Structure 1
Amino acid sequence: MKSLGLNWFIEGSLDFEHKKYILLDYLQEINRHFDKSKLYPNLTDLVFHYNNLLDFKQNKTILQQAFPQWLTKADIEAVKLTYKKMVEDDSTMQEIEHIITYALIKMDPAIQTGREIYDFVESRLNIDPIGLVPLMPYQGYFSLRNGNDRTNWIYEYHLTIFENTKDQYRGINIQFVDTYEQSITNTPEAIKLNLINQRRHLPNPAVYYVQSDISFPLEQTLLPVAKRSLVKYIMKAA
């Protein structure tokens, strides 16, 4: 997928029409993916750039420190350097703010579209525990079925905690294990027994069956949404 540079709105030429072309070309590709219900990594990338623009707009005086500086005077005797800021609240900064304002307006509808697709996919998911769930269900397996496809994808998962200065968050790490064709005899319950017998490092794992009632792109949409939905399900039930 096409992507924007981290500081695309301040790098190189600050010509508004040029930045507008770069942005619209990027959003056109994002929307092409959304039209095919392909959410990731497009939605994550889009939200990142949107938040990056907001941060710059709201913390302009702080972020000015990251701009290049050049030496304007040197006092050799006192070894004193003075610097002149490249960016101040002048025409340059006004042009940057013009670019940012335009970009935020254009990105917002695409983000809303992505969130609507995400909510729709999540609404089509059903999550059920297979057998008894251990008291600590933070490590185990889930079997993922995409619509009416008989193939199930098995993943080992491990819930993690990460935090910033304000809050703690739950994340999930997964590892692909295997696939199986679901049948009358090859059921999720039978697969759970096979996992326990063949993978002894988890003697009493939590195992979940995750299914969508319609098909979605597996890697770009269903799996990422299923991961996040499983985290919410486990934390709500714990």
Structure 2
Amino acid sequence: MISLPSDWLTQDRLDAEYKQYVVLAYLQGVGQRFAQNRLCPDLPDLQRHYDDTLRFRRGKGTLTAAFPKRVAGISGPPPRINYESELPDNPLMQEVDDIVSFALPRFHETLTEGRQRWADLAATLTLEPVGLLPLHRDEGYLFVHYTHTADLSVYQYRLTLYDTNVPGGRHVHWLLRDRLRRNLGTTFERLKVDLARRYDLPNPAAFRVESRQVLEEQETILPITQQLLNEAVA
């Protein structure tokens, strides 16, 4: 996995050609993982890089606009006073502008691809409650199963702090409890009762998420389910 440091823009040498290579190498790796339906942590990481770079561009524009300007001449008709900034020309800042102009549209393009893939995969998942839900739903169990297999993963979940930057608005802490294979006599209601007996959650909330295809749980299913679970317990 090729990661991009948070200070990639100013790290190492400030050379437009070199930075373009760094950006392309990073985005190539991200694109390959998106093609494999592996969305996290790359999608939120890419979102941060896009937001930070866009914020840098806007901040630089605000700084440039704040510098005093001097009269450069009069043009017309009609008569118009022309101004030019007293901010001195700096080759390094031009180099930064070139890097940002190169990176932003490519970040956005790959980000759009990742968001669309997220939406497409979310449409293949179905989240449903198991039995009656208690009043306290911030902690419980999640059964991850697949339409065409008997494989089943059992997670304990706990919704934690609010954060507008995470899917659904709240972090979800996952703890893998078991992996098993279901048979015809194994119902989710029975599994829920067994979990209540084994662990210290006497009346747990429980959900099952069904996936039409086998996907990476940590990198794809659980991040998307986090969003669905937030909506279900709201």
Distance 1:194 1:98, change over 3 A: same
Q: 5+ unaligned residues in a row in structure 2: which ranges?
A: 64-86
Q: Which residue of the partner structure matches residue 117 of structure 2?
A: 117
Secondary structure, aligned partner of 1:108: helix
Please list every run of 5 or more consecutive structure 1 residues that lacks an aligned counterpart in the other structure: 64-86
Name the structure 2 match of 1:81: none
Question: Is 1:215 paired with 2:219?
Answer: no
Please say if residues 142 and 157 of structure 2, whose CA atoms lie closer than 8 Å, have aligned partners that are also in contact.
yes
- Are residues 1:28 and 2:33 paired? no
Q: Distance in 1 between matches of 2:51 and 2:89?
A: 22
Q: Percent identity?
A: 30
Cα distance, 1:88 vs. partner? 7.4
Deviation for aligned residue 1:62:
9.1
Within a 5 Å distance, the mapping from 1:1-238 to structure 2 comes to 1-60=1-60, 90-162=90-162, 169-199=169-199, 201-235=200-234
* Cα contact 1:160–1:171 (8 A) shared by 2: yes
d(CA) in 2 for partners of 1:162, 1:95: 39
Q: Which residue of 1 aligns with 2:73?
A: none
User: Are the equivalent residues in 1 in contact too, given 2:169–2:230 (CA < 8 A)?
Assistant: no
Amino acid at match of 2:207: Y
Mapped contact 1:146–1:218 kept (Cα < 8 A): no
Equivalent position SS for 2:100 = helix
Aligned twin of 1:73 = none
Instruction: Measure the CA separation in 2 of the matches of 1:158 and 1:121.
Output: 23
Provide the alpha-carbon RMSD of the alignment. Answer: 2.3
Distance in 2 of aligned mates of 1:146 and 1:26: 32
Task: State how far apart, in whole Å, the 2-side matches of 1:196 and 1:48 are.
Answer: 39
Distance 1:57 1:146 in 2: 45
What is the identity, as a one-letter code, of the residue corresponding to 1:196?
A
Paired residue type of 2:138 = Y
Which amino acid letter does the alignment assign opposite residue 184 of structure 2?
Answer: I
3-state SS of 2:208 partner: strand
Which 4+ runs in 1 deviate beyond 4 A? Answer: none
The TM-score with structure 1 as length reference comes to 0.81
Number of positions where the alignment pairs a residue of Structure 1 with one of Structure 2: 209
TM-score normalised by length of structure 2 = 0.82
Q: Distance in 2 between matches of 1:48 and 1:98?
A: 20
